[in-house]
A = this chain, B = another copy of it.
Amino acid sequence: MTQLLAARKGEITKAMARIADREGVEPEFVRRGVAAGTIVIPANINHQALDPQGIGKGLRTKVNANIGTSPRFPDTGQELLKLRAALEAGADTVMDLSTGGDLNALRRQTLAESRVPVGTVPIYQAAVEALENRDSIVALTADGLFEIIERQAADGVDFVTVHCGVTLESVERLRRQGRVTDVVSRGGCFIVGWMLHHGLDNPLYKEFDRLLDICLRYDVTLSLGDGLRPGCLADATDRAQLQELIILGELVDRARDLGVQVMVEGPGHVPLDQVAANVALQKSLCREAPFYVLGPLVTDVAPGYDHIVSAIGGAIAATAGADFLCYVTPAEHLGLPTVEDVREGIIAARIAGHAADIVKGIRGAREWDLTMAQARKALDWDRQLSLAIDPEKARRLREERNPAGIRECTMCGEFCAMRLVSDFLGTTKGSC
């Protein structure tokens, strides 16, 4: 039985209780959210190592880290290092997006090592195998695709990105729309290519019930992918994107009706003043299904800094109601991220989520900042550094920039503002 079906029957599962405990909310709050579909718990019955996470309304904004090999960099060892770095840096979920090397082995290893939910994009493996075995991505068959989804589900994958809204209808809207960067989602591209080659509709849409059947058996959470997401600001919030979102909204209903947990993915490249509107649209069209956003990137011109660009968009999106942020690393648009890029990407996304959680009134968020402020006022450096979102980096910068170990930071030195006011006003709470 899926978490959704259990919740509907009034049952508080172990996963719900664990999530309630971690988030500081009532178990019944979690159960109600899952039953309503505003919270998902991606928890495959076969993922043994899992410590469950909840994603959705009223819970802390979550952060996903993508890892995975590519054909040019098939080294699974390197990706496992990234996995460990991601977990250490505080990723709430990881997605294995591998397209090179031994895909089954890396996925199984990732699942074995991950206490956090693991997601995949099964069309990647399907495309790779079609290319390997039959020399062409378009040689992929519907049966082959569903076999891979079943294989990944049986392995314990907790959530799958499936581009079910890339249909003959939405692609026709795309053609009429005209775009600068057309389709930038890899999975979306494979499907558009396949559909155009065969003159057939997307199997993930046409045979959606077959997908639901697999999800039901393993409690895999659907993450309805936005294959037609904008790849640049000029393409944002256009008719193709919205047509796909409407279709995804219909599929949310169908998944929920059968008891399958479902969330929806969102853009992408979006001008700052359209970010909140995109969240409002998704929430309305998809009946408040959890919203999983990539970025949004609020400018196209900053390769090397897209983790910062995404932190801006992500903070605004999460404040507007997005529930789940996919990290973007400094290497985005340039190449495969390094271990250090993974770390930077996760912290940037966590900052964005936390800035939003403060405003959303998520339990513990505002308190964290207040405790830090009190530690600053008291010039309690140990406490400041251990409270930092990345204690290791904060400590390293502090030591590098203050080799003498003086009490004030070296920015002000003996002119430390906080010390001066403590001396004069005597109003300090944590005196120094």
Contact = CB atoms under 8 A, between A and B. Distances in A.
Interface of A: 70-73, 99-100, 124, 127-128, 137, 175, 178-186, 188-190, 192-193, 196-197, 231-235, 269, 271-273, 298-305, 307-309, 311-312, 315-316, 319, 330-338, 347-348, 351-352, 354-356, 358-359, 366, 368-370, 372-374, 376-377, 384-385, 387-390, 393-394, 396-398, 400-402, 404, 406, 409-415, 417-418, 420-425, 427-429
Contact of A335 (B186, B189, B192, B409): B409
Nearest to A273: B359
Contacts of A414: 71
A301 B387 contact: yes
Contacts of A376: 181, 231-232, 300, 333
A402 B335 contact: yes
30 contacts: A72-B406, A72-B413, A99-B415, A100-B413, A180-B377, A180-B429, A183-B425, A189-B421, A190-B415, A192-B420, A233-B366, A233-B369, A235-B373, A269-B373, A272-B315, A272-B319, A298-B358, A301-B368, A301-B372, A302-B347, A302-B354, A302-B389, A303-B388, A304-B394, A304-B396, A305-B390, A305-B393, A308-B351, A312-B315, A312-B352
A421 B373 contact: no
Contacts of A377: 180-182, 231
A36 B164 CA distance: 55
B411 A70 contact: yes
A296 to B, nearest CB: 11
Contacts of A336: 401, 410-411
Contacts of A273: 319, 359
Q: Which of A304, A404, A423 has the most chain B CB atoms closer than 10 A to its own CB? A: A304
B180 A370 contact: yes
Contacts of A413: 70-72, 99-100
A269 B370 CA distance: 12
A356 B275 CA distance: 13
Contacts of A390: 302, 304-305
Contacts of A193: 420-421, 423-424
Given A412-B70, A415-B99, A182 B351 contact: no
Given A181-B376, A312-B315, A370-B180, A298 B335 contact: no
Contacts of A315: 272, 298, 312
A294 to B, nearest CB: 13
A189 B417 contact: yes
A316 to B, nearest CB: 7
Nearest to A373: B232
The 7 tightest CB contacts between A and B, nearest first, are A335-B401, A232-B373, A298-B355, A189-B417, A71-B413, A304-B393, A300-B369
A374 B180 contact: yes
Contacts of A423: 193
Contacts of A401: 331, 334-338
B394 A425 contact: no
A73 B331 contact: no
Contacts of A233: 358, 366, 369-370, 373
A188 B315 CA distance: 31
B335 A182 contact: no
A72 B385 CA distance: 21
Contacts of A372: 232, 300-301
A351 to B, nearest CB: 5
A326 to B, nearest CB: 14
B418 A181 contact: yes
B418 A334 contact: no
A47 to B, nearest CB: 27
A192 B73 contact: no
Given A303-B397, A358-B299, A397-B303, A427 B179 contact: yes
